[in-house]
Each structure stands twice: as structure tokens, then as C-alpha cells.
Amino acid sequence: MALCLKQVFNKDRTFRPRKKFEPGTQRFELFKKAQASLKSGVDLKTVVQLPAGENLNDWIAVNTVDFFNRINLIYGTICEYCTERSCPVMSGGLKYEYRWQDEHKYKKPTKVTAPQYMNLLMDWIEALINNEENFPTRVGVPFPKNFMQLCKKILTRLFRVFVHVYIHHFDRITAMGAEAHVNTCYKHFYYFVTEFDLTDERELEPLKVMTEKICH
């Protein structure tokens, strides 16, 4: 199992290049602290809580970027099986369909295939987190007033990746021996977004039954 996980998750199979924190910055130190807590085996409900003395926006920013990297990696492991033929609609089973909308080409919610949605989503998030106006990295530069709403939108859309992967591709995850890894990442994500109210309850509905089994 460990060998299989190493083969799957240590390869450079991220769906997009990973966003990294600059060494020496406060954000980098906060990221290291978060990673150390994760590796120490501390309860995930505790790991997501704002560390004493830290700025809430910094904590949200660090975790949002980290979840983008990790979910990007999870999707990268199954993306060859998520094709326009196998997944002609971005969905979570028969009940949930996700349409794409942005500020540029798709100004109205538009039906797209799952791989199209993933490409559009990762491009959209990457542009946002690399924009200094949205995710400032220089000391003393304030976060924008809409920062929390922006992160809520990013995390809500990233949750949909979990929905699609769990409902349509979990057999592949299981076949790779990566089920425990993906479940841990999902639990961490779920505890984080619920701790800071970063996604609406209705968005969590597609995975409600599974969530009750592994997160409570």
C-alpha cells in the first residue's frame, strides 16, 4: 500500500503546476506549521483551527492554496480516465450537474464536459491565487475586502471536484490503493470549510451520506 501511494502521489502528475510559498515569508512559515501539525497525527478538527496569534486571512489564504494543490494532484491521478466520452457532463451522479460560469468567456452558466470544467476551474483558480490583488504576498499589503467571498467561491468549486471524483472515479482511486489518502484529504477539507463557514450547506449535499460515515 505505501509503495503504491508513493508511486501515485510522488510522481509529477499534478493537473497544474503547484503554487508554492516563498521561503522566509510569514505565509511560508504558516504553511510549514500547518504541514507539521498534519504530520504529527493531531486530530484534523484541531488542525484546521486558527493558530493562536495568527491572522485569519493569512490562515485562509495558506489553506486555500494548499487545498488547490492537493485536489489538483488527486484529480491528476485519475484525469486520463475522466474524458469527454466517459464524462460528457460535469456532474455528481444523476441528481447534481455543475455548469461553468466566469467573468470572461462564459458569462452565463454553461453546460460543459467534466474535463472541460476541470480545465476551466484550475485555470480560473490559478489566475486568482497568482494575482497579488487577490492573494497579496508582500508584508503590509492588505487583503481585498471581498477576500472571504473569493475563497468561499474557490473552495465551493473545489468541493465539486471531490463530488465528481468520489461518485464517478472512486473505483480508480481504490484500485491505486489511494482511498485512505483521498479520504484524509477530504476530511481535512470538510473540517476546514465547515470551521470557517466557507461553503453553503446545500453544496455539501451530494456527499452527505459519505461525509457522515467518515467525518463524524
Q: Report pLDDT for 20.
A: 56
- Tell me the C-alpha distance between 35 and 12, whole Å: 20
Q: Tell me the sheet residues that pair with 198.
A: none
Q: Which of 5-19, 80-94, 128-142, 173-187 has the highest mean pLDDT?
A: 80-94
Under the banding of pLDDT at 50, 70 and 90, the label for residue 141 is: confident
Phi, psi for residue 96 in degrees, rounded to 5: -120, 125
Under the banding of pLDDT at 50, 70 and 90, the label for residue 9 is: very low
Contact 152, 198 (CB under 8 A): yes
Q: Report pLDDT for 137.
A: 82
- Tell me the C-alpha distance between 180 and 4, whole Å: 12
Contact 68, 158 (CB under 8 A): yes
Phi, psi for residue 100 in degrees, rounded to 5: -95, 140
What is the gyration radius of the CA atoms in the chain, in angstroms?
17
Q: Residues within the annotated binding site?
A: 82, 87, 164, 169
Residue 152 lies in a domain: yes
Residue 168 lies in a domain: yes
Alpha helices, H only, 86-204: 114-129, 147-168, 170-175, 179-195
pLDDT in tens, 32-49: 655 555 555 568 899 899
Residue 8 lies in a domain: no
Q: Closest Cα partner for 168 from 107, 100, 95, 82? A: 82
Q: Residues within the annotated binding site for Zn(2+)?
A: 82, 87, 164, 169
Contact 190, 45 (CB under 8 A): no
Domain assignment of residue 123, given as a range: 25-35+44-215
Higher pLDDT, 155 or 139: 155
Residue 161 CA, distance from chain mean position: 8
Residue 205 lies in a domain: yes
Q: Report DSSP state, residue 92.
A: E
The average pLDDT across 12-24 equals 50
Residue 4 lies in a domain: no
Neighbour count for residue 86 (Cβ, 10 Å): 12
Q: Can you give the CATH number for the domain in which 141 is found?
A: 1.20.140.30
Under the banding of pLDDT at 50, 70 and 90, the label for residue 139 is: confident
- Please state the length of the chain: 216
Residue 132 lies in a domain: yes
Q: Report pLDDT for 108.
A: 96
Total tally of structural domains belonging to the chain: 1
Q: Report pLDDT for 12.
A: 42
Residue 15 lies in a domain: no
Instruction: Calculate what percentage of the chain has a pLDDT beyond 70.
Output: 81
Q: Which residue's C-alpha cell is 467573468?
A: 103
- Tell me the C-alpha distance between 24 and 3, whole Å: 33
Q: Tell me the sheet residues that pair with 110.
A: 100
Residue 10 lies in a domain: no
